[in-house]
Structure 1
Amino acid sequence: MPHPTPFNYIQRKRALKHASKPTAVAKITSRPYINPQIASPLFSTLPAEIRNHIFYHALLAYPDPARPYSRHSFWYRPGYTHARAIAVALLLTCRRAYLETDLLPVVHNEHVIWGVEKPRIPPGSTNYLLHDRHMKLSQRNAVHFVHLFTQQFWLEDWKNQWLAFTTSWPEGGPEKIRITIRHTDWWYNLLGENSPLALDPKRKGRARVGEWVPDDQPYESGSWGSRFMHLHGLKKLEMELETIELKRTELDTIVEKARSWKFPLGDGNMLVMDEGSTEKSVWTGSKHFKGLNAPNVALGLQLRQGSTSSFSPFKATPRGDTESEELGLGDTLDYYVVLLTWHAQTKTEYDDVSTAFDVMPTSLSTTSATTNTAVAPPRTTPPRATYNRLNAVPTYYG
């Protein structure tokens, strides 16, 4: 019997802990009789197709104006200026409404997961170990889009976090994943060193400039690029890479190398870059991060040498509630962002099949913060559908 991944072990442990606690959902679904609500025009007059559209828009996540993010926080950026909310109270109005809508918030919304250490996680958010704590199996199978904000060491699997994430899905996993590495997430920022940016999907462990695995060589066992083999349902991968303007050239070097990256999938397909979808943008944000004091170089070096101890290289520095959110001269930096896109292709649609699929053994040896990010191109694959369980009307999403 294979050893359970850390994700599945913690998932089962927490499920047992909370299994005996009744929830509002349990109270609604525990009774066999479902009132058809014929007195309500929503159910008796409107066709199911129109009702599904209403439910779709009503259950989309929206920025909560009552919960703005600090401009000095690690997570403030274009598109993420406020905490998000979903009007899930709609699901609790009656059993019929619940049974028609329980999967819609899961299916239609982006699932943001934080593969980072505190204090880099927004209050009330979840990291990758806690994401499905309250999700049923049917809901987890319906997840379509996952957005990972990750530190570089997390992606490079220093503690098998990336492996745990890719192997935790009960079926094929999400159709779309976006991985964001922010300016503060690169190794040089974690360790307080001025080393050049490097990212290599074929190398196990930390990537370094001058030590790239050649394109004609297979993936090293345990490299982060080889982990996509576990995601059988993945159709689209996006990588959002960010740095400061002073390191634009270093990031452009990575982007140029990424043009040849191909990621093998477990279903026999391959993720191949769509070069026409590459987007570049610049936004202006704070350079004084909340909770950041000085890098703890000793802890950083300890991690680099292979320690499995908890790693939190920055000391928390609480900021007062009355501290100004205004950004004056000298308080800002320009952040350079590149969004790269890969689409799944079949064996007949790409070249170098044998090289990309092999895995070798491990070797011993100037704008504001709310502008100019482009809209992602429309999907080229047919949309999936989930069926309204009461009237068999498909609700399309994508």
Structure 2
Amino acid sequence: MDESILTAPSINLRSNINLQQQSPLFSVLPAEIRSLIFTCALTDYEDITQDAFGRDTYWYRPGYQAKRRTATELLRTCKRVFQETWFLPFALAEHCFFLTQENRAPSKHVTVERMKEYLTTLREFARNQDGMDIPHIQSIRVFAQLWALEDSRRLQEVLDLEGFQPKNITITLRYTDFWYWEHDRPMHIDAKWVNTVRFPSSVSTISMDFEMIDRRKNEVDFITDLATQRWFFRRADGMAFRASKEDITTTRWTGSSTFNKSRWIRDESRPNEIDYYVKTVVWKPAPGFTPFASGGGDRCPNLDIPAGFAREQPPYMREFTHISVDDLETYNIPYDAPAQEVQEAMMRIARERQAAIVRRRRGSLGQHV
């Protein structure tokens, strides 16, 4: 745990309050133990009881199955508790940003403009109460479609927020964030943003989640190995960050195969389910390290799957790679029908439609003979 989070309040902040010495929380427990309790109580969490996300949304995933909230009831118990903990909800929360199309993010997600307003209010409160600036935060997460991430100004705007000094930054690329995922195109990530974005001097780790469907995990393995070797990040103070294969982690999870009211049978592992394969690469400060000192250019390269790469082909690449939920209902195709049955049913319906069109045309020609 970061020691700065456990910093005791100043004399000014502790004035005019009851020190609550009758409570063992303050008179018996050491400040370090008390701070651990407060940290546990004020760390944000997924509130699945009230704000659960739909499983068929683009943003549903482990750790984000519901809106995150902080239980702030503790801050209202007494002035002593408030003055020791008022900054923790801000410092401990994982602040999340969506650099995506509007329909790819929850309806009430935090925007850059809203965060600017929040930071201004928080900074004024901190200076009035304690004469100090707001504390560093632990982490931010950025969900980004590649078209938005490759416009480096979008991410830089988040990182340059005044008073926003994160220590850990995670950039998550979901399967549906990649270019032309709908067409099963090979993975490609442009490096322009890597070469131009500068991270705050407060940053100590930069992580990237590379998510793909399980069928294409060999592409993720190749891309993450390449990113580990060839990509370097930089802080505003000049510090370079490099990654190590030893820090790569692999996770898996299962989600819905329905996006935007279409069931993607091409990618299903089971009826209505897609298995995902995620690799996380971590970049850390490398004092004294100078990228490109050995020659070979002065910019990080794009990440591409090379020609001839052995890609596992999807089983359903003909006309019906995905089916609208409305069509499934209209044609009485069972919700839990396997992908092959759905494909065959839609092909049969398409043939019947085509045959009906031919019959109508023949009938129309017969009337004019």
TM-score (norm 2): 0.65
Structure 1 stretches of 5 or more lacking a match?
Answer: 1-28, 202-222, 295-326, 361-398
Letter of the structure 2 residue corresponding to residue 339 of structure 1: T
- Equivalent residue in structure 2 for 1:98, among 64, 82, 91: 82
Task: Please identify which structure carries the higher helix content.
Answer: 2
- Structure 1 355/153 Cα, relative in aligned 2: closer, same or farther at 3 Å? farther
Q: What corresponds to 2:172 in structure 1?
A: 180
- Helix, strand or coil at the partner of 1:57: helix
- Equivalent residue in structure 2 for 1:156, among 114, 125, 150: 150
Q: What corresponds to 1:389 in structure 2?
A: none
Q: What corresponds to 1:341 in structure 2?
A: 282
> What is the CA deviation profile of residues 181-218 of structure 1, one whole-angstrom value per residue up to 9, with x for unaligned ones?
101111214xx5443221132xxxxxxxxxxxxxxxxx
Q: Distance in 1 between matches of 2:243 and 2:296?
A: 13
How far has the Cα of 1:32 moved from its partner? 6.8
Confirm or deny: 8 A CA contact 1:261 1:272 kept in the other structure: yes
Confirm or deny: 8 A CA contact 2:96 2:141 kept in the other structure: yes
Confirm or deny: 8 A CA contact 1:288 1:331 kept in the other structure: yes
Q: Distance in 2 between matches of 1:84 and 1:199?
A: 29
Q: What corresponds to 2:16 in structure 1?
A: 33
How far has the Cα of 1:83 moved from its partner? 2.7
Number of corresponding residues:
273
Confirm or deny: 8 A CA contact 2:214 2:276 kept in the other structure: yes
- Helix, strand or coil at the partner of 2:37: helix
Q: Distance in 1 between matches of 2:281 and 2:206?
A: 8
- Structure 1 338/129 Cα, relative in aligned 2: closer, same or farther at 3 Å? farther
> What is the CA deviation profile of residues 128-152 of structure 1, one whole-angstrom value per residue up to 9, with x for unaligned ones?
4423532323675421211111111
- Structure 1 64/170 Cα, relative in aligned 2: closer, same or farther at 3 Å? closer
- Equivalent residue in structure 2 for 1:197, among 187, 196, 199: 187
Q: Distance in 1 between matches of 2:282 and 2:176?
A: 22
> What is the CA deviation profile of residues 227-277 of structure 1, one whole-angstrom value per residue up to 9, with x for unaligned ones?
442422221111001122343343333223212211222222211012101
Q: Distance in 2 between matches of 1:177 and 1:133?
A: 21
Q: What corresponds to 1:266 in structure 2?
A: 236
> What is the CA deviation profile of residues 115-171 of structure 1, one whole-angstrom value per residue up to 9, with x for unaligned ones?
22222222433134423532323675421211111111111117x311211222437
- Helix, strand or coil at the partner of 2:20: coil
Taking the TM superposition and a 5 Å limit, the aligned residue runs for 1:356-371 are none
**Greater RCO structure (CA 8 Å; 6+ sep):** 1
> What is the CA deviation profile of residues 48-89 of structure 1, one whole-angstrom value per residue up to 9, with x for unaligned ones?
222212211111222324133222121222232233221112
Q: What corresponds to 2:163 in structure 1?
A: 170
Bigger Rg, which one:
2
Is residue 74 of structure 2 the alignment partner of residue 86 of structure 1? no
Is residue 13 of structure 2 the alignment partner of residue 43 of structure 1? no
Q: What corresponds to 2:309 in structure 1?
A: none
- Helix, strand or coil at the partner of 1:144: strand
Q: Distance in 1 between matches of 2:296 and 2:73?
A: 47
Letter of the structure 1 residue corresponding to residue 221 of structure 2: D
- Helix, strand or coil at the partner of 1:131: helix
Confirm or deny: 8 A CA contact 1:272 1:350 kept in the other structure: no
Confirm or deny: 8 A CA contact 1:166 1:227 kept in the other structure: no
Q: What corresponds to 1:20 in structure 2?
A: none
Q: What corresponds to 1:60 in structure 2?
A: 43
Relative to structure 2, which stretch is displaced further, 90-99 or 37-46?
Answer: 37-46
- Structure 1 144/356 Cα, relative in aligned 2: closer, same or farther at 3 Å? farther
TM-score (norm 1): 0.60
Confirm or deny: 8 A CA contact 1:115 1:151 kept in the other structure: yes
Q: Distance in 2 between matches of 1:334 and 1:231?
A: 35
How far has the Cα of 1:353 moved from its partner? 4.1
User: What RMSD over aligned residues (CA atoms) do the two structures have, in Å?
Assistant: 3.2
- Helix, strand or coil at the partner of 1:49: helix
Taking the TM superposition and a 5 Å limit, the aligned residue runs for 1:107-256 are 107-135=91-119, 136-137=122-123, 141-157=135-151, 160-170=153-163, 173-189=165-181, 192-201=182-191, 223-256=192-225
Confirm or deny: 8 A CA contact 1:34 1:96 kept in the other structure: yes
- Helix, strand or coil at the partner of 1:168: coil
Q: Distance in 2 between matches of 1:154 and 1:328?
A: 29
- Structure 1 193/141 Cα, relative in aligned 2: closer, same or farther at 3 Å? farther
Identity %: 30
